[in-house]
């Protein structure tokens, strides 16, 4: 079965990587999809985010990375995926994720959302936390892969 893991990944964190590692064991093929979203101001460009996702998941064979646009369910259909993976960290994620999953179900009943629960050591972790730490020159070791930490440091050195 082919699954997609859509999101912003601005940037990818160890929490995302953990979900990807586990989803890649459940599904034959997993495509990480950086969804274009003009409403959200992103720190990294889509290409930069895709490249960091590629580097951070290079050790997993059945994982690939794409940039997607339009509705997530339409994109899934276009590439022949029937599963949409999302991660849940805490109850705070639950309401938003339920809303999204229910809307997607109404849009296309053939695409199924599957939730994976974050491991406790990653449940506090978000891309925003990683950005705040980087901005304040904190230690990023426990939050993001080394290649991502380097890019975060570079971005904030440039004063963005
Ligand atoms: P979006 O803007 O679509 O929420 P994100 O990149 O923030 O994109 O997140 C993509 C998915 O990964 C979401 O389902 C989110 O709940 C999940 N996620 C984010 N961080 C973690 C984490 N630390 N552990 C598990 N799941 C996570």
Per-residue model confidence (pLDDT) at position 159: 63
**DSSP letters of 88-151?**
E-SHHHHHHHHHHHHHHHHH-TTSEEEEEEPPGGGTT--HHHHHHHHHTT---TTTS-HHHHHH
Decide if 40 is catalytic. Answer: yes
Q: Is 15 in the pocket of ligand 1 (CB under 6 A)?
A: yes
Whether a cis peptide bond, with omega within 30° of 0, leads into 11 is yes
Contact 11, 45 (CB under 8 A): no
Contact 19, 87 (CB under 8 A): yes
pLDDT digits (tens, 9 = 90+) for 81-137: 999 999 999 888 999 999 999 999 999 999 999 999 999 999 999 999 999 999 999
Catalytic pick among 24, 86, 127, 131: 127
Q: Which residue has the higher pLDDT, 92 or 27?
A: 27
Rounded-to-integer distance, Cα 28 and Cα 23, Å: 9
Residue whose entry in the numeric block shows the structure tokens 């890649």: 24
Give which of 70, 80, 79, 68 is closest to 107, Cα–Cα: 70
Decide if 16 is catalytic. Answer: yes
- When pLDDT is cut at 50, 70 and 90, the band that residue 35 belongs to is very high
Residue 58 falls in which region: left (phi positive, over 0), alpha (psi -120 to 50) or beta: alpha
Mutate which of 14, 15, 83, 145 for ligand 1 pocket (most atoms within 8 A of beta carbon): 15
- When pLDDT is cut at 50, 70 and 90, the band that residue 160 belongs to is low
Catalytic pick among 8, 16, 24, 56: 16
**What's the CA-to-centroid distance between 86 and ligand 1, angstroms?**
7
Per-residue model confidence (pLDDT) at position 117: 95
Q: What is the mean pLDDT of residues 23-47?
A: 94
pLDDT digits (tens, 9 = 90+) for 68-77: 999 999 999 9
Atom of ligand 1 nearest to the CA of 85: 14
């Amino acid at each position: 079965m082919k699954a997609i893991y859509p999101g912003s990944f601005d940037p990818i964190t160890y929490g995302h990587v953990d979900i990807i590692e586990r989803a890649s064991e459940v599904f034959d093929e997993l495509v990480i999809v950086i969804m274009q979203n003009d409403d959200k101001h992103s720190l990294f460009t889509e290409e930069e985010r895709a490249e960091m996702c590629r580097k951070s998941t290079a050790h997993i064979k059945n994982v690939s990375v794409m940039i997607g646009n339009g509705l997530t369910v339409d994109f899934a259909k276009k590439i022949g995926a029937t599963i949409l993976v999302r991660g849940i960290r805490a109850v705070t994620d639950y309401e938003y994720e339920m809303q999204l999953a229910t809307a997607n179900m109404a849009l296309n009943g053939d695409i199924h959302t599957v939730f994976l629960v974050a491991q406790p050591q990653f449940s506090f972790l978000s891309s925003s936390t990683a950005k705040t730490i980087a901005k304040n020159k904190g230690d990023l070791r426990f939050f993001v892969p080394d290649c991502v930490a380097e890019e975060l440091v570079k971005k904030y050195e440039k004063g963005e």
